[in-house]
Amino acid sequence: MSTIPLTNLLPGTNYTFEWSSANQFHLTTTIQFVTATDPLEAPRKPTHFVFLVPTSNHLRISVFLDDPCPYDNGGRAELNNILIRYRKAAQQLGQGFGGGKALVGYGNWSETHACFQNQLKDPRLLANDIQQNQQIKWSGDSVIQCDVPVDDPGADLEVAVATMNRYGVSPWVPSIYRASEALNAAYFYTTAAHQLLASVTSAIPILLLVLHY
């Protein structure tokens, strides 16, 4: 499969694309075409998201977007950003499997946070230049990582994620963040990293001894 980038296309505009194949001997006739336009509507919601090892003051989330291209005659709704919000979660008896405890969200949602991808780091850039470059791209099978500031990553939360563009916001996709599982993952990750570093460090003197011998 070959990918040919097209630039300077305008949203909401109909385009007809035709193609043919060629080699050094012959150019085939045009046999297929497709008409494409970006739907003027809110984007589709994320398929799902997973929680990564948190930092001291941020939740880290990998968001999966089902790239809808091509659909609706080859077009897809524009995608401006991913929105994230959260609220407290608490255990409720009798709601889990086998009568166990399940976490459910309650109370007001936090302020909505935007997940910018490929943020520009140069402080000399103007604010409007940064805003124009801080955009999420349709990722297909690739994940988009978002860091969300929270007061306490050790608290259980209900987290919801949505996509947005200038025409609206997609339905929210909620999921429960279990702090104990995330912190355990952080512990095992750190322990494994330390063990690997220790094994590499201990192997260096042995290697030097062999080389000296």
Pairing relation of β-strands 113-115 and 101-105? Answer: unpaired
CA distances 81 to 5, 34, 124, 134, Å, are: 22, 28, 23, 8
Mind listing the domains of the chain with CATH numbers?
A: 40-197 (2.60.40.10)
In this predicted structure, the answer to whether residue 174 has a pLDDT above a threshold of 90 is: yes
Rounded to an integer, what distance in angstroms lies between the CA atom of residue 48 and that of residue 141?
A: 12
Report pLDDT for 67. 62
Report pLDDT for 4. 76
- pTM for this structure? 0.60
Q: What is the mean pLDDT of residues 124-147?
A: 60
Rounded to an integer, what distance in angstroms lies between the CA atom of residue 160 and that of residue 157?
A: 10
Q: What is the mean pLDDT of residues 71-83?
A: 72
In this predicted structure, the answer to whether residue 69 has a pLDDT above a threshold of 60 is: no
